[in-house]
Chains A and B, each alone.
Chain A
Amino acid sequence: MTVQELLQKADKVVDATGLSCPMPVVRAKKAIDALSSGQILVVQATDRGSLKDIPAWAKQAGHELMETHEADGTFVYVIRKR
């Protein structure tokens, strides 16, 4: 799936590109709080640590990480709210 297709799935998109740890998870948490259960959050990040951090965050908070995508150094995560 292309990034464009992933973004189209989103109820909300967080652009955390250029931000370092722990900001991608901090921004993701803030954004997902504003969604309803079952809605889709897409997070974009360039922090390589987010490859481990976003799954850890999603698992701990009980959200479902549906997809991880990498293109040109940008990581795209598709998360379904618990």
Chain B
Amino acid sequence: MAEPAVLEVKGLTLEFATRHGTLRALDDISFSIRRGEVLGVVGESGAGKSLTGSAIIGLVERPGRITGGEIRLKGERIDNLPPDRMRAIRGRRIGMIFQDPLTSLNPVFRIGDQLIETIQTHTGMGQAEARQRAIALLTEVGIPAPENRIDAYPHEFSGGMRQRVVIALALSVEPDLVIADEPTTALDVSVQAQIITLLKRLCRTRGTSVMLITHDMGVIAETADRVAVMYAGRIVEIGPVKDVIKHPQHPYASGLMGAIPALDTRLNRLTQISGSMPRLDAIPAGCAFAPRCTKAIDRCRSERPDLMPAGASEAACWLVGKVSAEASA
């Protein structure tokens, strides 16, 4: 692999200083995304998946602070840049798509103005040329009659159409990486299917890398190439999407897969993981999942496992060898 990864995160640690002491919200997160690759990041609320996204784009709110590790975009370190340089990177090299399209669209501007301004700032194109380019983009994301719709305000669009506009805005500067944080969560299923298909197609044709943050394993299954499963601020398993879904190695990942009701079969009981994810101020020593894990051994409670190779994936579990042996048996 001669080409450096588009995004490389190594040992990222993020802490909140609170009056009850320091809470570690992200703990030693490492992963990379190659060109044109879609990395899915799943986890329950509070697992740290959105926070990972915020850390990469340099938008961690106080009192949160990156206290360790590094983030590299195409080999260049970006976690320690001054705010103004980071702002340039955010607009130009990393595109963002959020759950609520209205956070990215200014309600008092026509969508065309926002698109054209973004294109002009980043490419130095003239007004007419930028407008042509904006119309082309809107066509590409599937907005009907873009020549007319370009002069409409955000509130004149439906939820799905707004999210398409946001995607156009994110892709307008041809970024290296797009971070999509729950891009379809607020949408109905039929619209969600449209947006997923669109995102997939655009990234494939443009070779854009995507970090897709979602709680919905189904969306990941359809969209992502690789997936990272997060739990209590750590990555517990990362690997090709097929392997993680069909042969999850970490007990949490396998519990999660069993807990999702399926469309094609009706089981009597879903696999359930007892308890719930610990709060940040009560993360146990050792493996954070150990108290809920049916297979935990003494070592799990005292020593924290790092990611280690497990089949085609990597899992942070002391029992990795055993679990995979059982699964194949």
Do A and B assemble together? no
